Amino acid sequence: MSTPLGQVALRNQPAILSLLLQHEGVDVKFRNNYGETPLALAAQEGNETVVKVLLDRADVHSDSRNNALATPLALAV
């Protein structure tokens, strides 16, 4: 299961991501079935621009862990 935010993070679409982030109530902390946030998905795919856009938000935590206890940084490597 994913959200539009997760999908644009996976597909490296920073312009669409920026539009989605303008909507009140968007959940940047939503986790998929593997416990991955949009930040983790973008990092895993090497989508650097999307990662930067997400990290500019105060409510995105770079130290969040997925179900396997991996951080977005670990997924990026």
Q: What is the pLDDT along the chain (77 residues), one digit of tens a residue?
A: 579 999 999 999 999 999 999 999 899 999 999 999 999 999 999 999 999 999 999 999 999 999 999 999 999 99
The Cα 77–Cα 26 span in angstroms is 28
Three-state DSSP at 76 gives helix
CA dihedral (58, 63, 69, 70) in degrees, to 10, reads: 100
- For 63, the domain range is 4-76
Give me the phi and psi of 35, to 5 degrees please. 80, 15
Report the CATH number that the domain containing residue 23 is assigned in CATH: 1.25.40.20
The Cα 26–Cα 69 span in angstroms is 24
Radius of gyration of the chain (CA): 11
pTM reported for the whole predicted model:
0.93
> How many folded domains does the chain comprise?
1
